Chain A
Amino acid sequence: EAGVAQSPRYKIIEKRQSVAFWCNPISGHATLYWYQQILGQGPKLLIQFQNNGVVDDSQLPKDRFSAERLKGVDSTLKIQPAKLEDSAVYLCASSRASTSSPGRDYGYTFGSGTRLTVV
């Protein structure tokens, strides 16, 4: 089974510029997550999709961050305009579970992430 694919692997931008990240989840996984991992910390959830609907975006800074999952497969995460404190690794994850049927076999898998540096 192919893993979660993310691109690009690295991105360096100046503050106030915009940037977009792409994620292709494991085939058949209904739920897709975007996490932000600041250096020295654990990942923190930004947004969760089930199919193409948003389940949880309570931690997403909506004044500058946006995400979409058109057709319930691939997803993009955008930052506009970027700030210095947005420098982090952005991880995408997918799982089989749905919010209506949580259970032990989530099959939660992370991609390798996109490392963003804002200068």
Chain B
Amino acid sequence: GQQLNQSPQSMFIQEGEDVSMNCTSSSIFNTWLWYKQEPGEGPVLLIALYKAGELTSNGRLTAQFGITRKDSFLNISASIPSDVGIYFCAGQSYNQGGKLIFGQGTELSVKP
């Protein structure tokens, strides 16, 4: 089945630093999504990407849909303590009924 490889697995950074994480897939997707999950909660959508090459920002977050449709990255600029959490990429294919295939997650820790 489809698999997503997300890296890095974890990051420990200083407040104010920029962060970058990425996902690669063995097959193409129609949509790439980035979620954040905090303890005891479900994933919350941060950014959705619908077109190959698309670059989208949401505040300090920027994500891109790779040209090959098999990869995506998420950047967080000027990190703050509330950015702490687990970030997941997810891919979606229209011919699979809308289910999401998730990466393994990147755990982000921010030191004040």
A110 touching B98 in the complex, CB below 8 Å, given contacts A41-B104, A41-B105: no
Most buried by B among A91, A106, A108: A108
How many pairs of A and B residues are in contact by the CB < 8 Å rule? 62
A108 touching B100 in the complex, CB below 8 Å, given contacts A42-B88, A42-B105, A93-B42: yes
A45 to chain B, nearest CB (A): 5
A95 touching B42 in the complex, CB below 8 Å, given contacts A41-B104, A104-B48: no
In the complex, how many residues of chain A place their beta carbon closer than 8 angstroms to a beta carbon of chain B? 28
Bits for B86-112, please: 1 = Cβ < 8 Å to A, else 0: 001010101011111011110000000
- Point out residues on A near B: beta carbons under 8 Å: 4, 9, 31, 33, 40-45, 48, 50, 55-56, 91, 93, 95, 97, 99, 102, 104, 106, 108, 110-113, 115
